[in-house]
């Protein structure tokens, strides 16, 4: 093991699981996070540089922190920091000339933006070392963590990813692969993992495949990444998506797979297609751009409105606006210009920061709006604050009418599988009808895409392979541990274990 990796400065990861515990946050657990992960194995490609490029292509998945770990099979070097890629690696990149590297970009919820939570995590144990990057959120994290603490494990972070690391480190299974599989049998929820060991690179997707993970091929190596756009960034050829419950192992012998014993059923997060993924990515065989385009066409059929222009909210509303325009015949124009140097407001961890960022992020084009009846296309309404400010911006720029079409159904329930869609009382559709929401945000008309319209747009008309829990509260796994709000306060009674969260506070579907 590299001496510097074991005893580095404060911007290095202490890799012993028994190191002093970091101060814990006094808020509720902040374990829900959406991240980007990347891994590469190659004997000829400069893996550190390739990992940096791959993560850069995934920057949209998290802007709070970034990290890269590199190994030559014996030594490990790791660098990570807060902020964007250019900020996190301002001092240096890992210096080892290795053959394997993994990386991680992250954002957190309120209270979770601390250095101790920056990944990849790195640990030494009797079988060698492991470094881990995780995208997702465990639904039984607190239970697993309490058990591990009672058995003597200590934690340096508040991330549930560290629980996975500890499970692997203390496993009595004979090989690293067996340790990983036996550990994952003990956890529930969403996880796409990329793990680096002294022997090779390992990618794992949970049995529901909530979060994306794909495999790419280089001339003499392989790449694992959250999205195919990261494969393109390093000139890797797409091979396939990692299957639900599959563990893909890359080493000097090539690639082989093993599977978890749990029953596998694809429940890919539909929000990847609505918002999170880059439009040039393909996830589980479906083009993200094409899905958004079809959402827009379906919106135009569901909400025929007299208008002069269609205006997308950039960037995720653009493809849907093009589809709406193609179906309706109403021309689409750039009515809002995005400041490319401002991050994504939905994944900023604090509501005050979100409010301040909206005005800096988007500015109206008066020449395209003044005197016009506008249909504004956006991907979703979560809290409603951003939508209200955008409607006001369009009106101040001279729009005579502002209709809003949303390329997703109303979000009435939180996501417990790795997307910060807030606690339920902050979700505007959980407490208001569609008509009430339209009045609150100041539109002349509001229409959400129907759930069936969404499913058909992503190629899942029967609803058999997508997770849409945030629209109806029926979850594919047990989420009872995640319900931090008392059900009785929601007016929903007790929660049937493992499936349904409380009904919306006062939501009534509009006929």
* Higher pLDDT among residues 353 and 175, named by residue: 175
Q: How confident is the model at residue 33 (pLDDT cuts 50, 70, 90)?
A: very low
pLDDT (tens digit per residue) in 93-108: 998 999 999 999 997 6
Average pLDDT of the chain?
85
Burial class (CB in 10 A: 0-12, 13-18, 19+), 77: buried
Considering only 149-158, 258-267, 438-447, 489-498, which range has the smallest mean pLDDT? 489-498
Q: Tens digits of per-residue pLDDT, 118-150? A: 999 999 887 789 999 999 999 998 899 999 999
Domain definitions of the chain by residue range: 3-14+32-266, 288-490
Tokens representing 250?
Answer: 């890359």
Span 320-341, pLDDT tens digits: 999 999 999 999 999 999 987 7
Q: List, by residue number, the catalytic residues.
A: 35
Q: What pLDDT was estimated at residue 357?
A: 64
pLDDT value at position 92? 87
Give domain 288-490's CATH architecture. 3-Layer(aba) Sandwich (3.40)
Higher pLDDT, 167 or 19: 167
Give pTM, 2 decimals. Answer: 0.86
What is the C-alpha separation between 1 and 4, in angstroms, rounded? 9
Over the stretch 246-276, which tens digit does the pLDDT of each residue have? 999 999 999 999 999 999 999 999 999 999 9
pLDDT at residue 364 is higher than 70: yes
Tokens of 333: 């124009």
Using DSSP's 3-state secondary structure scheme, residue 405 falls into strand
Summarize the confidence of residues 60-84 as an average pLDDT: 94
pLDDT of amino acid 342:
64
Radius of gyration of the chain (CA): 23
Strands 466-467 and 214-217: unpaired
C-alpha to C-alpha distances, 27 to 22, 288, 403, 484, nearest whole angstrom: 15, 36, 39, 12
The vertex-11 CA angle with 8 and 15, nearest 5°, equals 55
For the chain, the helix, strand and coil percentages under 3-state DSSP, each to the nearest 5: 30, 25, 45
State the CATH class of domain 3-14+32-266.
Answer: alpha beta
């Amino acid at each position: 093991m590299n001496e510097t990796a074991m005893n580095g400065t404060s911007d290095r990861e202490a890799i012993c699981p028994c190191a002093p515990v970091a101060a814990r946050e006094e808020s509720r657990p902040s374990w829900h996070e959406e991240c980007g992960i990347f891994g590469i194995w190659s004997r000829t490609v400069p893996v550190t540089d390739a990992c940096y490029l791959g993560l850069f292509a995934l920057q949209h998945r998290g802007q709070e922190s970034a990290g890269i770990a590199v190994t030559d099979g014996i030594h490990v070097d790791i660098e990570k920091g807060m902020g964007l890629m250019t900020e996190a690696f301002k001092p240096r990149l890992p210096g080892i000339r290795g053959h394997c590297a993994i990386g991680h970009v992250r954002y957190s919820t309120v209270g979770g933006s601390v250095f101790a939570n920056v990944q990849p995590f790195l640990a030494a144990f009797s079988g060698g070392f492991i470094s881990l990057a995780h995208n997702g959120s465990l639904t039984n994290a607190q239970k697993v963590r309490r058990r591990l603490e009672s058995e003597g494990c200590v934690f340096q972070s508040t991330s549930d990813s560290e629980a996975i690391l500890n499970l692997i480190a203390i496993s009595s299974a004979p090989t690293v692969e067996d340790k990983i599989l036996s550990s994952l049998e003990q956890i529930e929820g969403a996880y796409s993992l990329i793990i680096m060991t002294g022997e090779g690179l390992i990618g794992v997707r949970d049995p529901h495949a909530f979060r994306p993970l794909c495999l790419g091929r280089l001339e003499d190596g392989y790449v694992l990444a959250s999205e195919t756009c990261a494969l393109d960034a390093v000139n890797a050829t797409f091979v396939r998506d990692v299957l639900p419950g599959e563990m893909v192992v890359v080493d000097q012998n090539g690639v082989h797979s093993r599977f978890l014993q749990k029953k596998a059923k694809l429940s890919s997060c539909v929000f990847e297609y609505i918002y999170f993924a880059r439009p040039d990515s393909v996830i589980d065989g479906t083009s993200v751009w094409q899905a958004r385009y079809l959402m827009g066409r379906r919106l135009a059929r569901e909400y025929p409105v007299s208008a002069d222009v269609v205006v997308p909210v950039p960037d995720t509303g653009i493809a849907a606006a093009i589809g709406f325009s193609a179906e309706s015949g109403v021309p689409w124009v750039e009515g809002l210009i995005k400041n490319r140097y401002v991050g994504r407001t939905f994944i900023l961890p604090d509501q005050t920061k979100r409010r301040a960022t909206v005005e800096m992020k988007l500015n109206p084009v008066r020449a395209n709006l003044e005197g016009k009846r506008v249909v504004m296309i956006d991907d979703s309404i979560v809290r409603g604050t951003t939508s209200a400010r955008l409607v006001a911006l369009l009106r101040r720029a001279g729009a005579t009418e502002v209709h809003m079409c949303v390329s997703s159904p109303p979000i009435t329930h939180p996501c417990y599988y790795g997307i910060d869609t807030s606690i339920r009382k902050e979700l505007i559709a959980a407490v208001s009808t569609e008509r009430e929401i339209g009045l609150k945000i100041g539109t002349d008309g509001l229409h959400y895409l129907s759930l069936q319209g969404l499913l058909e747009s992503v190629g899942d008309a029967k609803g058999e392979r997508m997770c849409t829990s945030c629209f109806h509260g029926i979850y594919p796994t047990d989420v009872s541990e995640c319900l931090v709000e008392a059900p009785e306060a929601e007016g929903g009674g007790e929660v049937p274990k493992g499936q349904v969260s409380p009904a919306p506070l006062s939501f009534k579907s509009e006929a």
